[in-house]
């Protein structure tokens, strides 16, 4: 590759940031096991009638609405000879995925990330699928800005980071929280006071003292409400908190379970970093 082409790529890279995207007819590529295809696209490729004799394909190209760059901006702008690759995720339609874009915006579904630039088209980034491409591809792409404000950029960084750092809760805690999980998921979208209260929560965090490995634990649930939510007074929040805690009966190692409805500004930094976010859709056996 000639130096002027390298310079062209590097100059173009300086315009791109994490969250920028391209729309149109794009392909997402992933590898699969032809003997056990799991997606509709891979199953179609594995159909014996569609293959020539002795032919075997283990790469599938899926059409997607667009691609969004999830590589950190500081790595995007690095010279392409030093760092030649970018990570991209496909943009998918919320209707097709049967998800609510507001839940994605509030980071309640870790599989997806909210991209302000395509929100009006009901598209989100699917973080379960990540593909590596060479940086020279950006010369063929029409860049669209994904995030404008510092807050939008921060939320995207947090969504990508959260996807990677979610805690694997102990199995006995997962069993303990099963009824709690089912209630939260069932009531969240209901047009009831409880549903309204759940939608007013920014997140639920939990701390285990002394640690998750100890034989006797004290659990504290932090129900962190959105700052702007003032539809419920302190007494109402306390009643909801007590109702939710009843779904978490003390048993086994968990002999003390308490809760607190609190705003983010009222939490200490120590309380926040020493607690783990509870992803109700993704409580799973470790």
In terms of residue numbers, what domain contains 24? Answer: 3-165
Is residue 263 within 8 Å of 227, Cβ to Cβ?
Answer: yes
Closest CA to 241 of 264, 217, 257, 265: 257
Let me know whether 214 and 153 are in one domain.
no
Is residue 275 within 8 Å of 222, Cβ to Cβ?
Answer: yes
Let me know whether 101 and 80 are in one domain.
yes
Let me know whether 113 and 159 are in one domain.
yes
Burial class (CB in 10 A: 0-12, 13-18, 19+), 245: middle
Q: Which residues have CB under 8 Å from 1's CB, separation 6+?
A: 136
Q: Say what the pTM is.
A: 0.70
Let me know whether 93 and 201 are in one domain.
no
Q: Which residue has the tokens 């978490």?
A: 248
Domain boundary among the residues 111, 144, 165 is at 165
The predicted pLDDT at position 30 comes to 93
Averaged pLDDT in 10-residue chunks for the chain of 286 residues: 85 96 94 88 73 70 96 94 95 92 85 95 96 96 95 91 82 91 84 88 91 93 80 84 93 93 92 86 42
Let me know whether 46 and 180 are in one domain.
no
Closest CA to 17 of 128, 116, 94, 120: 116
Let me know whether 176 and 161 are in one domain.
no
The predicted pLDDT at position 46 comes to 66
The predicted pLDDT at position 227 comes to 72
The predicted pLDDT at position 3 comes to 77
Instruction: For the chain, give the percent of residues with pLDDT over 90.
Output: 59
Residue range 80-128, pLDDT digits in tens: 999 999 999 999 999 988 898 988 988 878 899 999 999 999 999 999 9
The predicted pLDDT at position 11 comes to 95
Let me know whether 150 and 178 are in one domain.
no
Instruction: Phi first, then psi: give them for residue 103, nearest 5 degrees.
Output: -65, -35
Count of CB atoms situated within 10 Å of the CB of 84 = 14
Let me know whether 181 and 268 are in one domain.
yes
The predicted pLDDT at position 117 comes to 96
The predicted pLDDT at position 90 comes to 97
The rounded distance, in Å, linking the Cα atoms of 86 and 75 is 8
Q: Which residues have CB under 8 Å from 223's CB, separation 6+?
A: 201, 204, 237, 240, 241, 244, 259, 260, 261, 262
Domain boundary among the residues 110, 136, 165 is at 165
The predicted pLDDT at position 47 comes to 66
The predicted pLDDT at position 275 comes to 92
The predicted pLDDT at position 27 comes to 94
The residues facing 131 across adjacent strands are 88
Domain count, the chain: 2
> What torsion do the CA atoms of 65, 69, 70, 75 make, to the nearest 10 degrees?
170
CA 251 from centre of chain: 31
Let me know whether 26 and 142 are in one domain.
yes
Let me know whether 134 and 198 are in one domain.
no
DSSP-based three-state secondary structure for 223: strand
Let me know whether 19 and 114 are in one domain.
yes
Let me know whether 75 and 48 are in one domain.
yes
Is residue 263 within 8 Å of 228, Cβ to Cβ?
Answer: no
The CATH number assigned to the domain holding 194 equals: 3.30.70
Domain boundary among the residues 130, 165, 200 is at 165
Q: Helical H runs in the chain?
A: 3-13, 40-46, 73-76, 94-97, 101-105, 150-165, 171-176, 178-187, 193-199, 234-245, 269-273
Rg (CA), the chain: 23
Is residue 113 within 8 Å of 92, Cβ to Cβ?
Answer: no
> What torsion do the CA atoms of 92, 94, 98, 103 make, to the nearest 10 degrees?
120
């Amino acid at each position: 590759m000639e130096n002027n082409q390298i310079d062209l790529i590097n100059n173009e890279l300086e315009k791109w940031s994490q969250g920028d995207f391209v729309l149109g007819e794009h392909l997402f590529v992933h590898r699969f096991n032809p003997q056990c295809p799991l997606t509709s696209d891979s199953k179609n490729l594995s159909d014996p009638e569609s293959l020539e004799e002795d032919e075997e394909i283990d790469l599938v190209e899926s059409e997607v609405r667009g691609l969004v760059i999830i590589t950190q901006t500081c790595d995007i702008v690095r010279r392409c000879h030093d760092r030649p690759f970018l990570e991209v995720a496909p943009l998918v339609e919320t209707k097709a995925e049967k998800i609510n874009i507001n839940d994605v915006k509030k980071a309640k579904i870790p599989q997806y990330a909210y991209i302000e630039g395509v929100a009006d088209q009901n598209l989100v980034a699917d973080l379960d699928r990540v593909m590596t491409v060479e940086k020279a591809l950006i010369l063929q792409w029409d860049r669209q800005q994904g995030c404008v404000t510092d807050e939008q950029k921060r939320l995207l960084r947090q969504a990508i980071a959260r996807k990677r750092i979610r805690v694997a809760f102990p199995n006995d805690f997962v069993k303990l929280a099963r009824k709690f999980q089912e209630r939260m998921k069932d009531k969240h979208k209901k047009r009831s006071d409880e549903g309204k209260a759940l939608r007013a929560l920014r997140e639920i965090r939990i701390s285990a003292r002394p640690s998750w490995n100890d034989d006797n634990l004290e659990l504290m649930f932090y129900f962190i409400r959105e700052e702007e939510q003032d539809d419920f007074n302190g007494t109402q929040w306390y009643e909801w908190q007590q109702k939710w805690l009843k779904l978490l009966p003390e048993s086994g190692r968990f002999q003390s379970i308490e809760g607190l409805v609190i705003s983010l500004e009222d939490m200490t930094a120590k309380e926040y970093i020493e607690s783990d976010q509870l992803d109700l859709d993704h409580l799973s056996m470790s």
